[in-house]
Amino acid sequence: MRDTGFCWIIRRRSIWKTNMDKHPCGWASCSNDAEVRLDRRPLCQVHFYDLASQRLEEYRARLCDGDPADTNRTTILNFVSEVISATTILVTSVKSLGQEQREKYIELSLSAAKLYNRVQRHQRISCNMPILINHETDSTGRQELTNTINVSKRGACIATKGMWKNGEKIWVQRPQSPLRALAWVVWVKETEPSQFLMGIEILDCEDFWKLALTVPEKIPLT
Give pLDDT tens digits for 125-139. 888 999 999 998 877
Alpha carbon distance 30, 22 (integer Å): 15
**Residues with Cβ within 8 Å of residue 129, at least 6 apart in sequence:** 147, 148, 151, 174, 209
CA 63 to chain centre: 6
Amino acid in position 51: L
Of 34-38, 74-78, 115-119, 176-180, where does mean pLDDT reach its minimum? Answer: 115-119
| Residue 14 pLDDT exceeds 50 | no
Give residue 64's pLDDT. Answer: 64
Give residue 97's pLDDT. Answer: 84
Taking phi over 0 as left and psi of -120 to 50 as alpha, with beta for the rest, 167 belongs to left
Confidence of residue 201 (pLDDT cuts 50, 70, 90): confident
Alpha carbon distance 108, 98 (integer Å): 16
Confidence of residue 16 (pLDDT cuts 50, 70, 90): very low
Give residue 53's pLDDT. Answer: 94
Give residue 98's pLDDT. Answer: 87
| Residue 65 pLDDT exceeds 70 | no
Give the count of alpha carbons within 13 A of 175, CB side only: 10
Instruction: Check if the beta carbon of residue 42 is closer than 8 Å to that of residue 23.
Output: yes
Q: Give the C-alpha distances (Å, rounded to integers) separating 86 from 2, 12, 68, 154.
A: 18, 10, 24, 31
Alpha carbon distance 184, 156 (integer Å): 11
| Residue 205 pLDDT exceeds 50 | yes
Of 42-46, 58-62, 193-197, where does mean pLDDT reach its minimum? Answer: 58-62
**Which alpha helices (H) appear in the chain, and where do they start and end?**
3-20, 45-63, 70-93, 99-121
Question: Domain coordinates of the chain in residue numbers?
Answer: 3-121, 125-202
Give residue 6's pLDDT. Answer: 45
Alpha carbon distance 130, 151 (integer Å): 12
pLDDT in tens, 87-102: 998 988 888 888 899 9
Of 32-36, 103-107, 156-160, 185-189, where does mean pLDDT reach its minimum? Answer: 185-189
Mean pLDDT, residues 145-169: 90
**CATH class (in words) of the domain with range 125-202:** mainly beta
Burial class of residue 87 (count of CB atoms within 10 Å of its CB; 0-12, 13-18, 19+): buried
Alpha carbon distance 174, 181 (integer Å): 10
Give residue 215's pLDDT. Answer: 40
% of the chain exceeding 70 in pLDDT: 80
Mean pLDDT, residues 11-20: 46
| Residue 217 pLDDT exceeds 50 | no
Mean pLDDT, residues 160-178: 90
